[in-house]
Amino acid sequence: MKDILYIVVPCYNEEEVLPETSRRLKEKLDSLMAAGTISEKSRILFVNDGSKDKTWPLIEGLHAQDPVFSGVDLSRNRGHQNALLAGLMTARDKCDMAISMDADLQDDVDAVDAMVDKYYAGCDIVYGVRSSRKKDTFFKRFTAEGFYRVMNFLGAETVFNHADYRLMSKRALEGLAEFKEVNLFLRGIVPMIGYTAGTVEYERGERFAGESKYPLKKMLSFAMEGITSLSTKPIRFITGLGFLIFLISIIMLITFVVKWALGMTVAGWASVICSVWAIGGLILLSLGVIGEYIGKIYLETKARPRFLIREVLDDE
């Protein structure tokens, strides 16, 4: 008997793209079932992340027409990462493997075949990795690749050019459930699970319809969330910078004492003013970084639920 596959798709205001997404995913699931690769109990699970448009009514309609479509309706908008986790945790007890992907059809649906093959070959986690960024503008390519390099440099280890298109086995999903943090950054958490992992390269396409949910401002916020959730390197950099400035101040103090002993005057106040502004800026930056970590601790200690589910549509 073949294993059950759930394709988990977080949705936020996706009424424009959902009809086409559902059609393509059903075709893919039908082809895999017909080939005997996956079980007839496999499903497509849409997660409504508090959408303000007709996304949830569309999901209800799809489920009513065909039980292959399942749905999870969150009580309110909780963000992409929480919505994705809600879908994966819902699928955990129903499937043998789950593939997460975005609703905008930028993730190549045909890569699902290779992911499933890797799963049967023994991989618990299969990452969908972009083969190239030739279609991106220079600015998009520069900022996106810089995002991954900066993340890894600052200690938030991620898979280069991988977003949230991945396959996870039931065992990997059970491992993911053990991570209880409120501040979610799944691109960094999933590699921590371990187990056997593989990659599948694919060509990322253009968004089929609607607007991007990750403009530059949100991507920068997402990067900050990932770094401060997974690494303490920024605080260590502050410590190192403080030590370096202390050494420089000692050297400058010795220099001024020597000049004073030799009867030499210190020229101007420009250097003093620059130093005051530089140190003041560094202090404020340091307080901001430390405050970010304290804020994370504050949220974690409250242990608020990461998501609340209003309704689940699923015919097993």
Residue 89 CA to residue 46 CA, distance in Å, equals 13
Residues 186 and 42 in one domain: yes
Residue 220: φ, ψ to 5°: -65, -40
Residues 132 and 278 in one domain: no
Query: Cβ contacts of residue 292 below 8 Å, gap of 6+?
Result: 224, 228
In this predicted structure, what is the pLDDT of residue 113? 92
Residues 194 and 260 in one domain: no
Number of domains in the chain: 2
Strands 162-169 and 97-100: antiparallel
Residue 217 pLDDT exceeds 70: no
Residues 170 and 277 in one domain: no
Angle at the Cα of 123 from the Cα atoms of 119 and 125, rounded to 5 degrees: 95
User: Which of the pair, 284 or 111, is modelled with greater confidence?
Assistant: 111
H/E element holding 99? Answer: strand 97-100
Residues 245 and 222 in one domain: no
Query: Confidence class of residue 270 from pLDDT cuts 50, 70 and 90?
Result: low
In this predicted structure, what is the pLDDT of residue 293? 77
Per DSSP, 13 falls in state S
Quote the percentage of the chain above a pLDDT of 90: 32
Residues 115 and 237 in one domain: no
Residue 119 pLDDT exceeds 70: yes
Cβ–Cβ < 8 Å for 190, 164:
no
pLDDT in tens, 136-194: 666 666 666 666 677 667 666 777 778 889 999 999 999 999 988 877 888 888 888 88
Residues 183 and 296 in one domain: no
Arithmetic mean of pLDDT, 251-259: 70
Can you give the residue range of the structural domain that contains 239? Answer: 233-302
Residue 176 CA to residue 182 CA, distance in Å, equals 13
Residues 136 and 275 in one domain: no
Residue 252 pLDDT exceeds 60: yes
CATH assignment at residue 84: 3.90.550.10
In this structure, the number of other CB atoms found within 10 A of the CB of residue 289 comes to: 17
Arithmetic mean of pLDDT, 239-266: 70
Residues 291 and 237 in one domain: yes
Query: Confidence class of residue 101 from pLDDT cuts 50, 70 and 90?
Result: very high
What does pLDDT average to over the chain? 81
Q: What is the pTM of this model?
A: 0.73
Residues 100 and 194 in one domain: yes
Residues 152 and 63 in one domain: yes
Residue 67 pLDDT exceeds 80: yes
Residues 162 and 149 in one domain: yes
Query: Confidence class of residue 302 from pLDDT cuts 50, 70 and 90?
Result: confident
